[in-house]
Amino acid sequence: MRNLVLTFVILGCLCGSGFAEEVKQLEGMSNGAKAALLYLPNRLMDFVDIFRLNVGVGEGWGANLRATNFLTGGVSDYDTIRFGMRGREMPRYEEAVDEECIGLFGLQIGKFDRDPYELAFTGHVAYAGLEAGLDLDEIVDFLLGLACVDYREDDMGPRVW
């Protein structure tokens, strides 16, 4: 029962300012117990990492399409406060983008600071924008995470493998 309560405390805190405080609550436990207790929170956060769905408010313009590094491109210049999720970055964060790029089969011309494994688009007109998509690399991390393999090294607590 204590572990169940602690799991819910951790889950409730995950969307806050960071994980250090939550993991600190587990001090004194063995690494095995920590890993077991953090298994579900880590799987939940790895699942959340997959998605991008947010709106941006702020001045600017632009559009881009990211179909991994094989086909990507866009031109954007905006400075926004974003609401929603970009993986576990939520519910509110700032994003300033000044980019222009075209890429094909991993070769890129121009400036583009995006995750190379995203299937996503972003559009921004005047004072509002939208981003939607998912990250293939995070899908791999989520699936491997089911077997306790932390491919993206973003899990909380001790490593199992």
Cα–Cα dist 32/13, whole Å:
22
131 interacts with Ca ion by CB under 5 A: no
Residue of 100, 120, 96, 122 whose CA lies nearest to 109 = 100
Q: Between 33 and 139, whose beta carbon lies closer to Ca ion?
A: 139
Residue 108, H or E segment? strand 107-111
Contact mark string toward Ca ion, 8..47, x via CB under 5 A: --------------------------------------x-
Cα–Cα dist 54/132, whole Å:
7
Q: Between 34 and 65, whose beta carbon lies closer to Ca ion?
A: 34
Q: Report the SS3 class of residue 143.
A: helix
Q: Rule CB under 5 A: choose which of 65, 154, 158, 160 binds Ca ion.
A: 154
Q: Any idea what DSSP says for residue 118?
A: E
Candidate ranges 4-12, 23-31, 126-134, 149-157; the one touching Ca ion (CB under 5 A): 149-157
Binding site for Ca ion (CB under 5 A): 46, 49, 138, 141, 145, 150, 152, 154-155
